[in-house]
């Protein structure tokens, strides 16, 4: 393959994992697009790519028209502010929404395969379910501005009748190597690991709904290696379009997750339940579960990692060794 594959957000968590996945196939003609001074270049220090382009330079070059479909085969657009606590709406409108519109319009004009990251945060409190049926897009009410910024673009795609021309992926709760730099937005597995190493115990939020015991709030947790497989399925299948969930279809509680981390470390389980911060209560999801029917119908058949085995792989082969995907 002589043309380049662009991965925006390519130095970040999921982005660097996708670059790793491409490298595993022997693909190295990759343009990584990300912040000029990314907080953790270690994510890509062991990976092979042909060019690193600052995200503002990439955007400006799209407007200048210096590239076309002879240069770029596919754009996997994963770059965004992913903080669920971000309060600057104007920033998210430009960085998450308008930037995605700009890249999408360029791709469509040039006939370049375009895959973008949406988010399960668009589903809000889950009261309307977690179906990736595009007829329901307008009904969802995200609980935070990050989720809204992803919802804005999903709605733009539908409004402009582009559901049969591009691919959107609603990522659920992703965890795994290369998330070290994400600070407060890291998965709870790495946070639990650090707490166990430091104090021998893990603190979990109490439940404020009678239907859920403390620590029994449920999530669809997906290992980043499965995310890579599901994402690259759409890289391979060029005649598949639309918006799809990227999850496992299974749910596990925070208690199960923490128990698996303790078990990986051969440590006694010690959990303390603490009050949830007031600012988080109104936007806390008690349940998420990806409806995987649509992606399976599209032809994706690979089974996800076993929950405990995935956590053990992450803990023992990455967190314990302080290593990255390579």
- Count CA within 13 A, CB hemisphere, residue 51: 15
Residue 207 in any domain: the answer is: no
The values of phi and psi at residue 225, to 5°, are -70, -35
User: 227 lies in which domain range?
Assistant: 4-172+222-247+289-302
Helices (H) and strands (E) in the chain, counts: 11, 13
Residue 13 in any domain: the answer is: yes
Residue 121 in any domain: the answer is: yes
Q: Tokens representing 95?
A: 């960085």
Q: What is the model's pTM?
A: 0.96
Structural contact between residues 181 and 11, judged by C-beta atoms closer than 8 angstroms: no
Residue indicated by tokens 């002879």:
70
Residue indicated by tokens 């859920």:
212
Instruction: Classify residue 209 as exposed, middle or buried by CB count within 10 Å of its CB (0-12, 13-18, 19+).
Output: exposed
Instruction: State the CATH number of the domain containing residue 147.
Output: 3.40.50.720
Rounded distance between C-alpha atoms, residue 177 and residue 190, angstroms: 9
Rounded distance between C-alpha atoms, residue 199 and residue 316, angstroms: 19
The values of phi and psi at residue 45, to 5°, are -65, -25
Q: What is the pLDDT along the chain (326 residues), one digit of tens a residue?
A: 579 999 999 999 999 999 999 999 999 999 999 998 766 789 999 999 999 999 999 999 999 999 999 999 999 999 999 999 899 999 999 999 999 999 999 999 999 999 999 999 999 999 999 999 999 999 999 999 999 999 999 999 999 999 999 999 999 999 999 999 998 899 999 999 999 999 999 999 999 999 999 999 999 999 999 999 999 999 999 999 999 999 999 999 999 999 999 999 999 999 999 999 987 887 888 999 999 999 999 999 999 999 999 999 999 999 999 999 99
Q: How many domains does the chain have?
A: 1
Rounded distance between C-alpha atoms, residue 33 and residue 6, angstroms: 7
Looking at residue 40, what is its pLDDT? 77
Rounded distance between C-alpha atoms, residue 154 and residue 141, angstroms: 13
Looking at residue 1, what is its pLDDT? 54
Query: CA separation (Å) from 193 to 178, 182, 187, 245, 315?
Result: 15, 15, 10, 28, 8
Query: E-strand spans in the chain?
Result: 4-8, 30-34, 51-54, 72-77, 113-119, 167-171, 173-175, 202-205, 218-219, 221-223, 242-246, 252-253, 271-274
Residue 199 in any domain: the answer is: no
Structural contact between residues 189 and 311, judged by C-beta atoms closer than 8 angstroms: yes
Looking at residue 56, what is its pLDDT? 95
Q: Tokens representing 52?
A: 């690193």
Rounded distance between C-alpha atoms, residue 233 and residue 240, angstroms: 9
Active site residues: 146, 182
Dihedral of alpha carbons 16, 17, 20, 22, sign: negative
Residue 50 in any domain: the answer is: yes
Residue 317 in any domain: the answer is: no
Residue 188 in any domain: the answer is: no
Residue 179 in any domain: the answer is: no
């Amino acid at each position: 393959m002589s043309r380049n594959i662009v991965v925006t957000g390519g130095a970040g968590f999921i982005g660097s994992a996708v670059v790793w996945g491409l490298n595993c196939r022997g693909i190295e003609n990759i343009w990584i697009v990300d912040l000029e001074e990314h907080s953790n270049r270690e994510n890509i220090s062991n990976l092979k790519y042909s060019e690193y382009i600052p995200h503002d330079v990439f955007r400006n070059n799209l407007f200048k028209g210096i590239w076309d479909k002879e240069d770029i085969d596919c754009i996997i657009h994963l770059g965004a502010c992913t903080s669920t606590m971000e309060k600057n709406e104007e920033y998210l409108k430009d960085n998450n929404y308008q930037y995605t519109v700009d890249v999408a319009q360029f791709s469509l004009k040039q006939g370049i395969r375009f895959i973008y990251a949406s988010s399960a945060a668009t589903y809000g409190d889950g009261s309307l379910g977690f179906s990736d049926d595009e007829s329901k897009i307008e009904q969802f009410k995200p609980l935070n501005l990050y989720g809204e910024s992803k919802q804005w673009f999903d709605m733009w795609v539908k409004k402009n009748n582009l559901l049969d021309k591009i691919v959107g992926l609603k990522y659920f709760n992703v965890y795994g190597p290369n998330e070290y730099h994400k600070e407060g937005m890291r998965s709870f597995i790495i946070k639990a690991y650090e707490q166990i190493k430091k104090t021998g115990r893990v603190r979990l939020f109490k439940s404020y709904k009678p239907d859920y015991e403390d620590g029994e709030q449920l999530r669809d947790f997906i290992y980043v290696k499965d995310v890579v497989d599901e994402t690259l399925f759409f890289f391979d299948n060029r005649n598949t379009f639309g918006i799809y969930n990227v999850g496992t279809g299974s749910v596990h509680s925070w208690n199960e997750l923490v128990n698996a981390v303790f078990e990986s470390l051969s440590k006694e389980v010690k959990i303390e339940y603490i009050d949830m911060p007031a600012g988080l209560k109104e936007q806390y999801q008690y349940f998420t579960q990806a409806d995987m029917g649509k992606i399976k119908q599209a032809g994706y058949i690979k089974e996800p990692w076993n929950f405990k085995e995935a956590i053990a792989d992450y803990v023992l082969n990455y967190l314990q060794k302080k290593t990255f995907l390579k």
